[in-house]
Structures are given as structure tokens and as C-alpha cells.
Amino acid sequence: MNALSRRGLLKGAGALVVSFSMSRAFAQEGEVAGGAPKEAVPELPGALAQSPFLDSWIRIEADGSIKVFTGKAELGQGVKTAILQVAAEELEVEPRAIEMITADTGQTPNEGYTAGSQSMPNSATAVRNAAAQARALLIGQAAGRWSLDPATLRAENGSVIAPNGETLSYGALVSSTLLHVEAQPQSPLKAPDQLRQIGQSMQRIDIPGKVTGGEAYVQDMRMTGMVHARVVRPPSYGAQLQAVDTAGVDAMPGVVGVVRDGDFLAVVADKEFRAIKAMRMLAKAAQWSESETLPDSSALPDFLRQLPREDGTVASEGTPVPSAHTYEASFTRPYQAHGSIGPSCAVALWEDERMTVWSHTQGVYPDQKAIGEMLELGPDRLRVVHREGSGCYGHNGADDAAADAALIAQRFPGRPVRVQWMREQEHGWEPLGPAMVTQVRAGIDASGQISEWNYELWSNTHSTRPGPAGALLAGRHSAKRFAPEEPELEITKSGNGDRNSVPLYVSPSKQVVWHFLKDMPLRVSALRGLGAYANVFSIESTMDELALLAKTDPVAFRLKHLEDLRAKAVVEEAATRFGWSNEPLPQNTGRGFGFARYKNFAAYCAIALEAEIDPISGRVQVKRVVSAIDSGQAVNPDGIRNQTEGGILQSLSWTLFEAVPFDRTRVTGIDWSTYPILRFSGVPASVEVHVIDRPGEPFLGSGEAAQGPMAGAIANAIRHATGLRLTDLPFSRERVRAALMQAAGTELTQNG
């Protein structure tokens, strides 16, 4: 898009904001701690409950052109394509007839964050119902014109067709007010056997552009007169700027200006590499005072256990029956990074006293609020538009980069400012997935049934998203020094640190407590799955230990403790497709199984895998993975497979390789050599995903279902291969080797 049309858009924004049928409430994900609104109880399907007007979602013009609006953002998860499919389905048009408009405070409904695997249940459900109701209204219009019974009419390819073959196009039927009506609770959805788009693996609409060098990402935006900014971040979390002499930097070729605002320091140049050179020079010129604010990373679990805490009861159900055997263990998860391949980036333009920010944020409206507070700009003067970035998997540096760009752009009116974070800035400053400790004590009775389940977890909140300006680095570092929000313990249905901490398995008693830790020495926020990753890892490891105590096959043991038929079905599907058996495997090779229903109410996912452990190096190589997933009615089966394969491999990476290193002053894992992740040599020979389609069932979302089960399956395969129960993530070579040597030593002493 050229600068001219961008400006055109911007000018139009005001009118759009005003005419837009605004949301009744702020859409929420149940992921936000603190003073954020609670989850709404929808009386209307999906996000229609928050934005009930049909024309918030669908607009049809007199020329027949159709626009579909979603407040959700494409994050590489394929949501734009999936929502397009449901809209085309119910509107009875070809997908190519629809233009999709995603997350833009100037145009789309406020759907909070694109997070928590909520886009399909909320946004796609809203669009599907809105589209079906729009179709009914159009048919009703035609019925009126023809004086025919609407039941005798049908819609096809953008027109309504009468029994005699006469047609009226949508464009001819629509009026400016036709769709400006509130949705009804019931929609005339197409019957499952009539579906033509839903259930098809339509190719993603964004991929052709991405593989041919199209302008696909915010990083690719080039506006007329655009300048390049780089931020000089403090050298550590607690650092404060003492002095900086900018004279040398100001004189460098192409430098447009230096911005200093409290501890916020940035430089702007005409060309990108000049901005980088100026940033380096500016970093050298800046003097900071630093302080030790971080705990001893070698004793992190102990540190977390002794932090001041507030206890939240997640479950307190039933009474235990006497146990014949019990299993007790503590599991740990380190801080882990989102580690987007493309560091965060944003473009901002301050023009005519109005700000526009293009960002790969997961929440354009929350960002608008936070940046607005920071710059004292109301929503009428600040528009946040989503543009894709590199995959984020949660709250990475996106919002911070957007705030950086806005703060800088305000100093350079009329000039679009592009801020690109450097690799070490992304690694050093992104909010990390919080470290966690869990403690389980569970038992089986004499018949091999689970007799009791007691579980505690120690964790920070898993969401410090904006909201407030203090959630943004620029807000914190600027002279106004906005303070981060005090995190608050909240027990919700979706869960946060406690997500999936209550096992789905049948037990006469379940006692689950979240020891909520307020102190956040390292910056943390939402990472794919939140607490579910560590909780499911702990639960699934324990299930295998209980199965061993019960002398029962681990898959059979799980099935014995599942009542939900869909849960049983994914477990059986994964086991059968894998060829699960008790046949002996080659030496040092093991099988592992893992299962969870995400949030205990979303997608079901089961994973079986085979792994080989090299006893000399300690290297764990996952050889093949077979999984089954049920995320309700499958809109785009290949999209679900793609997301699940991705979740499996990312979780494999977390589980085998990843822990953010830090010393007492700073995060020291600041690039791919100090924070290694999965490379191709560690990729299994095959990863299979079997989608169980449930026509007529609600969309459940798929993006985060595999993270926990994969960690459990790997741990269980290592146990099967070596007899070692590893409880501390990640299972790095060093850890595995040390555990193997220790076990061998113990054996020697015992035998000697």
C-alpha cells in the first residue's frame, strides 16, 4: 500500500469510529489478571454477545461487495482463512468474493486479545451466526419484493433465487440499515450435510504472498518519508540512565534525532543501517547505574517456594479413599522465551495531532488504551491497526515496540517512524513464560483406581498484558514512569497459572492450590498455554507413575480414569494410529503418552511418541510422533493439523532445550547461541496429526492444545527407555547425562 492510500485510510478513520456500532462490553479471554473485566456470559453465540450488531461483522455494499470484520488478528495460525471459510459458508458466496478486515480499532469489533485459542469459539462463531442471519435477512428482503414465502427461496453465489429461477443479487437487496440490527440468539445455520466450505482444507490466503516476497509483515511496511528508529534499552531490568552525551551521535550521517525521555533512549535515522550504527554509538555514550535485582538462577525452585504468596483454591472436591500406594514428586519449569524469529517491530505516524500505530500486537484495543494512557491520547486520536509479524505465541515484545514507535513518532510529526527491535532486545526484554514449581501427591487404591489427588503450584500470573501504560516498557522507562499493575490472584474457568491444574481424570478427591507469587523479578507474561504446559507435564508424568504402581499399561490406565467419550476417543485414536503396545523396543528407546483437554473445556489432544536416549551424550531424540485432536467441528482440518504439528515441535523445543539463563543483574540468554532452540537435526522423522471432526459441535480452537501433552509424552518416553523419572524441565543433554550417571552410580553402590 502506498503512503497516499494509507493517509486516506487514516483520514477516514474518524468517521468509521463514529459510525461503528460499538461493542457493549469489552471482550475478554479469561487470561488477564488484575482489574480487567471478567469473562462475559454470552447470551448470544460467540463474540456476538459483546458486539451484537450484524454490521459490526458483515457489510454488504450496493455493488455487491462484501466485507467481513473480525477483531482477531492473523498470527500465522491461519485464523483469517478459517473465518473467511465460515463467512463464505453461511453467506453462500465464494471465499474470494469476501474481503477480510482484521483487528483495527478504526474498523473492527473489540475482541480483546487474539489469545487462548479463543478465535474460533468467539470470533468465528460470531461471524458464522451473523452471516447466517444476514443471509436470512437478504432472503426475507427478496421474499418481500417477490411476495413469496421465504421458505421457497434459496441463496446461492451472492444472490437469492426464486423457485422460477429469477434472481436478485445481494447488492440489489441490501440497504444501509438492513444489517444494522442486533443479532438473534438463534441462527438458521446450514445443516452439517449441506456444508461446502466448513470442513474443507482450503489453502491459506496469506501463504502465496509470504513465499513470493509480498508486503506481508509490519516489518515490510515502507511509507513515503519513513525514518528508522532504534531504541537503546537499559543494560538490565533495574538500570537507570545517569548521563548521556549525544553530540557524537547527532553528528553521524543520516541521524535525524535522538530521543531521551527519562530512561527511554532512542535514535532516529534516515536509513536502517545508519540507525543501527547510531544506536551502537548511543549505547556506548550512555552511562547507566545497575543493580542486582534477580534471584540465584541455580536455586530457582527454592527461591519460588519461599517467595511471599497468596493461596487460591482451584479445586477442593470429594474425599480421598485409602491409598494402597502413593506417588509424590515436585516438578519444575524454568523461565522460557517466546523467541519470535523476527524481533518485534512497529510503525507509527503522528500527523494532525493524531496517532496511527501499525503493530503485530495481539490486542489492538488494549494497546490503544495503554498507549493512549502513556501519551494522553483519547481513542478518537489514536488508532491501532494490526499488521502481521513473526509468530508470537503469546505476549512478546509486540506491544512494547508499538509503544516505542508511538513515543518516538510524537517527536517527529508527519514522519512515519519504523522501530525494529534487535535480537538481543527481544530476548532480553520480552516478557517470559513464568518459571513454575509444582508438587503432587496422588495415590491408587488396592484395585488400581486413583484414590486421591493433591496438587500445589507456585507461579506468578501468566498475564501482564496492557491494559495500563505501566505494562509497556516505554511507559515504564519514560520520565512519567508508569508503574506496572499489581498482579492479582484470580481463579477463573479458563485458568491462568492454574490452567489445567485440575486433572480431567476421575479421582474421589481433587485438591488443587495455586500459591500465587506477586513478586516478578523477571518480566513475565502469557506464553502459549500459560500454566497448562507445566501442569499437564506434571499430571501426565504422575499418571504414568501411578500406572506403573497399578501395573497397568499407561494408555489403559488413562482410559480407565476418563469418563468423557470424546476424551477417550482421542486417546484411543492416538494409541491405535501409533500402534501402541507393550512389545519390547530396542535398547535406550522408549514410548511415551500424554493427554489433556485444554482448559478442561476446549480441544482434546493425545500424543504418543517414541524417543531414543543416547546414554553417553544424554541426547534425547524424538523419533516419531502420532497425535489425535478433537477441536469440535473442524473448519479447516489442514489448519488444525498445521497448528498441532507446530505446537508439538515447539513444545519439543521447550521440553528438551529451553531455559532462559540469567545472572543476578540481567538476562544472559540474549540470542540463539545463549538460548538454543530446536534445529532440524532434532526434528522427528515423522509427526502425524489425526483430526477427529465433530460436525455440529462448537468450534473449540486448537492453537495451544499440544503443548502440555507433548511434554508429558517426552518425559514418559524417557522414563520408559531409562527408568528415570525426570522432573525438571528442560531435559537438556547435560541434565539427562547427569541423571543417567547418578542412576548408574547408585546401581554400582547397591550392587557393590
Partner 1 sequence: MAVTLRVNGKEQSVETEPDTPLLYVLRDDLALNGAKYGCGLGQCGACTVLVDDKPVLSCLTPLMLLEGRSITTVEGLGTVGKPGPMQQAFIEEQAAQCGYCIPGMMMRAEALVRRNPDAGDTEIRDALEANLCRCGTHSRILKAVARARDLKRGGGA
**Residues forming the site for ligand FES (CB under 6 A):** 76, 341, 391
Grid look-up 482440518 returns 637
Stretch touching partner 1 by CB under 8 A, among 212-220, 259-267, 372-380, 717-725: 212-220
Nearer to ligand FES, 32 or 218 (CB): 218
Which of 118, 642, 716, 732 touches partner 1 by CB under 8 A? 642
Which of 23, 461, 535, 650 touches partner 1 by CB under 8 A? 650
For 613, the 3-state DSSP assignment is strand
Strand partners, 243: 287
For 214, the 3-state DSSP assignment is coil
**Residue 433 binds: one of ligand FES, partner 1, none (C-beta under 5 to 8 A by kind):** none
Q: Are 659 and 724 in contact (CB under 8 A)?
A: no
**Residue 698 binds: one of ligand FES, partner 1, none (C-beta under 5 to 8 A by kind):** none
Contact call for residue 361 and partner 1 (CB under 8 A): no
Nearer to partner 1, 396 or 460 (CB): 396
Stretch touching partner 1 by CB under 8 A, among 288-296, 415-423, 575-583, 608-616: 415-423
Shortest distance, position 647 Cβ to ligand FES, whole Å: 13
For 59, the 3-state DSSP assignment is strand
**Residue 389 binds: one of partner 1, ligand FES, none (C-beta under 5 to 8 A by kind):** partner 1
Residue 261 C-alpha cell reads as: 525521555
List the strands of the sheet with 589-597, edge to edge. 589-597, 604-613, 620-630, 686-691
The CA distance from 388 to 81, in Å, is 14
Shortest distance, position 276 Cβ to ligand FES, whole Å: 12
Shortest distance, position 335 Cβ to ligand FES, whole Å: 21
Shortest distance, position 676 Cβ to ligand FES, whole Å: 14
Q: Which 370-409 residues touch partner 1, going by CB under 8 A?
A: 388-391, 393
Q: Binding marks (x or -) toward partner 1, 69..98, rule CB under 8 A? A: ------xxxx--------------------
**Residue 212 binds: one of partner 1, ligand FES, none (C-beta under 5 to 8 A by kind):** partner 1
Q: Which 238-297 residues touch partner 1, going by CB under 8 A?
A: 253, 271-274, 276
Q: Mapped to the 3 state alphabet, what secondary structure does 276-345 carry?
A: HHHHHHHHHHEEEECCCCCCCHHHHHHHHHHCCEEEEEEEEEECCCCCCEEEEEEEEECCECCCCCCCCE
The CA distance from 497 to 674, in Å, is 27
Contact call for residue 225 and partner 1 (CB under 8 A): no
Which of 35, 185, 208, 414 touches partner 1 by CB under 8 A? 208
For 484, the 3-state DSSP assignment is coil
Which of 14, 199, 217, 553 touches partner 1 by CB under 8 A? 217
E-strand ranges in 493-579 read 509-517
Residue 344 C-alpha cell reads as: 518485534
Contact call for residue 653 and partner 1 (CB under 8 A): yes
Which residues are CB-neighbours of 512 under 8 A, at least 6 positions away? Answer: 313, 314, 315, 316, 453, 454, 455, 456, 457, 498, 501, 502
CA 275 to chain centre: 31
Q: Which 677-706 residues touch partner 1, going by CB under 8 A?
A: 677-681, 683-684, 686-687
For 645, the enclosing helix (H) or strand (E) is helix 637-657
The CA distance from 677 to 520, in Å, is 25
- In this structure, the dihedral spanned by the alpha carbons of residues 358, 364, 367 and 373, taken in order and rounded to 10 degrees, is 90
Q: Which 323-342 residues touch partner 1, going by CB under 8 A?
A: 339-342
Nearer to ligand FES, 53 or 393 (CB): 393
Q: Binding marks (x or -) toward partner 1, 654..673, rule CB under 8 A? A: -----------------xxx
CA 457 to chain centre: 22
Which of 649, 691, 714, 739 touches partner 1 by CB under 8 A? 649
**Residue 203 binds: one of ligand FES, partner 1, none (C-beta under 5 to 8 A by kind):** partner 1
Shortest distance, position 638 Cβ to ligand FES, whole Å: 15
Shortest distance, position 470 Cβ to partner 1, whole Å: 28
Burial of 66 (0-12, 13-18, 19+ CB in 10 A): buried
Nearer to ligand FES, 30 or 76 (CB): 76
Binding residues for partner 1, rule CB under 8 A, total 65
CA angle 559, 458, 650 (to 5 degrees): 60
The CA distance from 229 to 526, in Å, is 27
The footprint of partner 1 (CB under 8 A) covers 75-78, 201, 203-204, 206-217, 219-220, 222, 228, 253, 271-274, 276, 339-343, 388-391, 393, 420, 422-423, 638, 642-643, 645-650, 652-653, 671-673, 677-681, 683-684, 686-687
